[in-house]
Structure 1
Amino acid sequence: MTPVANARMYSATASVRADWKQLLAWALAHAGLAWDVIDYDAPAPLSALWARGDLGLAMMCGLPFSQRAPRPTLVAAPLPSPARYGGRPVYFTDIVVRTGSAFETLEDTFGGIVGYTLADSMSGGVALRNHLAPYRAARGMRLYRGAVGGLIHARGVIEALVEGRIDVGPLDSYYHDLLRRNEPALAQKVRIVDSTEAMPIPPLVATTPLTPGELARIRSALQEATRTPELAAVTERLLLAGFVSPDPADYDVLAAISLRAIPPFEEL
């Protein structure tokens, strides 16, 4: 079974998807690995992609990565280039509202309708619940009069905000920044009122066995891809400063957060 590669998680636009495919294909070719870079577009569930046993280089949410036993092989993690990431393999959940709304702070949204992508999504669900939990505990009462889930992805959150179905919702910050760089007209429809603490960014993983040589070559090729002039325009559009290979244990914090007694959205 020939391994495959995919960057669905951060394919924020059609052009960004093409850029990720070009970068991954370049890296695989320079690593001497004849793998296919496949499409796997929404609304196909990411959980089904991550359950495949033939992934050689695929982006995976850090939460299922941290929970899975045995864990996939952590190949590399992206380093977003915007200054707020501090050159670290981290991301945030941006908590956003519709641009034309009167909300200025997170607390202003209390009493409204909160939205989320999927309850088990780190950036689109768990991180937001974790961020809101102290407010819920301090107030001793519900923060929101209702919740709307199943928004699937960041675009679903933005659409729900624009249509007035929700008042506030979460966006993966790197995805959000990719939208701001590559589809500003859509990104300008929402604005940030708060962001969560930094968490380990979704990594590129393999669910298929890799030899030490294959792993070393693909890691080296990914690093080279962000340095070669041939891909300079691509990495600029991807807001990508490089790749690192963090310790898989760095992601344990995500599993720990998911085990906390955090109220579900319907009780926040």
Structure 2
Amino acid sequence: MYNLSPKISASWDLFFHWLASRSGVELEVIAHAAPAPLSELWGRPDMGAVFMCGFPFSRLAADERPLPLAAPVSLADWAKGQPLYASHIVAARESPLKEADLVSARWGWTVRDSQSGYNAPREFFAALAGGQPARETIGSLLNPRGVVDAIRSETIDVGAIDAYAYQLLALHEPEMVAPLRIVATTKPAPFPLLVAAKQQPPEIVEALRGNLLSAHRDREGLALLAALGLARFAEPDIAAYDQLPARARTIDEALGPW
């Protein structure tokens, strides 16, 4: 989910190699680049530590869910020291759009099972527009890079980018977000969490979970987290994820699909 560029992917690779070494669990870092569906990745029986969006996680029955390991806590102010994230509503840097103008803008979205790229901007728009339909919506743009490209090509006026993805780009690939301007930020939601396959033995799951939760107390682990814009990993609040389907239904009733 957050392999946004070769440079950022390399930072993640270093972190997961550290996790494998500290936990004594052999982890193979695999590429699963867009447009390969994330649902295929989440269905693999050999998942060791894989990011999963909270919305598809929340829609699975308890006995169908992969095993939650940990959720990141960003160093950014919007996280407020908690395993939360949001979406930035972004436009071209030279665009004169203000928040009130977004009702009449052309919106882009990523994929319909995304909290950050679909449900969060719809929830924001529904509150802003008061039941008024969007002028035009365009998708699926797949991921934050697709949103950036669509804005730069003037295919859309605004789109939502996962605030943590934006943070990573600003940290490692500032030229990618340089053409953008944050117009607004959505309500927070529980951060995408790292999960393991249900088939993994309990001792492997506990080793991975324990080392993720204590990574910030390890000198090397803390440095690797900082390179990823993270303060630490925290225990996921499963009850917070369970609230996401109800939020989505409220959006559907107010706005309908994009």
| More divergent stretch after superposition (110-119 vs 223-232) | 223-232
| More divergent stretch after superposition (162-171 vs 9-18) | 9-18
Number of the residue aligned with 1:58: 50
Number of the residue aligned with 2:119: 126
C-alpha distance after superposition, 1:176-197 (max 9, x if no partner): 1110111111111111111111
Residues 109, 247 of structure 1: CA spacing in aligned structure 2 closer, same or farther, 3 A cutoff?
Answer: closer
Number of the residue aligned with 2:104: 111
| More divergent stretch after superposition (19-28 vs 217-226) | 217-226
| CA apart distance, 1:209 | 2.6
Please give the alpha-carbon distance, in whole angstroms, between the structure 1 residues aligned to 2:118 and 2:51. 18
Asked whether the equivalents of residues 46 and 200 of structure 2 are also in contact (C-alpha less than 8 Å), the reply is no
TM-score, normalised via structure 1 length: 0.89
Within a 5 Å distance, the mapping from 1:52-201 to structure 2 comes to: 52-69=44-61, 70-103=64-97, 105-136=98-129, 138=130, 140-142=131-133, 144-201=134-191
Letter in 1 for 2:90: V
C-alpha distance after superposition, 1:162-221 (max 9, x if no partner): 111100110000001110111111111111111111110000001233344322221222
Asked whether the equivalents of residues 115 and 170 of structure 1 are also in contact (C-alpha less than 8 Å), the reply is yes
* SS of 1:204 mapped into structure 2: strand
| More divergent stretch after superposition (88-97 vs 75-84) | 75-84
Please give the alpha-carbon distance, in whole angstroms, between the structure 2 residues aligned to 1:247 and 1:78. 12
- List gaps (5 residues or longer) in structure 2: none
Write out the 4+ residue segments of structure 1 that deviate beyond 4 Å after TM superposition.
none
Please give the alpha-carbon distance, in whole angstroms, between the structure 2 residues aligned to 1:196 and 1:141. 18
Please give the alpha-carbon distance, in whole angstroms, between the structure 2 residues aligned to 1:265 and 1:108. 21
Please give the alpha-carbon distance, in whole angstroms, between the structure 1 residues aligned to 2:71 and 2:132. 39
Residues 56, 237 of structure 1: CA spacing in aligned structure 2 closer, same or farther, 3 A cutoff?
Answer: same
Number of the residue aligned with 1:240: 230
| More divergent stretch after superposition (208-217 vs 245-254) | 208-217
Residue 49 of structure 1 is aligned with which of 41, 48, 53?
41
Q: How many residues matched?
A: 254
Asked whether the equivalents of residues 35 and 142 of structure 2 are also in contact (C-alpha less than 8 Å), the reply is yes
TM-score, normalised via structure 2 length: 0.92
C-alpha distance after superposition, 1:96-137 (max 9, x if no partner): 11111111x22213222111111221100011111211333x
* SS of 1:164 mapped into structure 2: coil
Please give the alpha-carbon distance, in whole angstroms, between the structure 1 residues aligned to 2:59 and 2:249. 10
- List gaps (5 residues or longer) in structure 1: 1-8
C-alpha distance after superposition, 1:226-264 (max 9, x if no partner): 343334543222001111112322201112212222423
Asked whether the equivalents of residues 79 and 88 of structure 1 are also in contact (C-alpha less than 8 Å), the reply is yes
* SS of 1:117 mapped into structure 2: coil
> How many percent identity over aligned positions?
36
Letter in 2 for 1:88: Q
Number of the residue aligned with 2:256: 264
* SS of 1:84 mapped into structure 2: helix
Please give the alpha-carbon distance, in whole angstroms, between the structure 2 residues aligned to 1:118 and 1:264. 15
Asked whether the equivalents of residues 147 and 265 of structure 1 are also in contact (C-alpha less than 8 Å), the reply is no
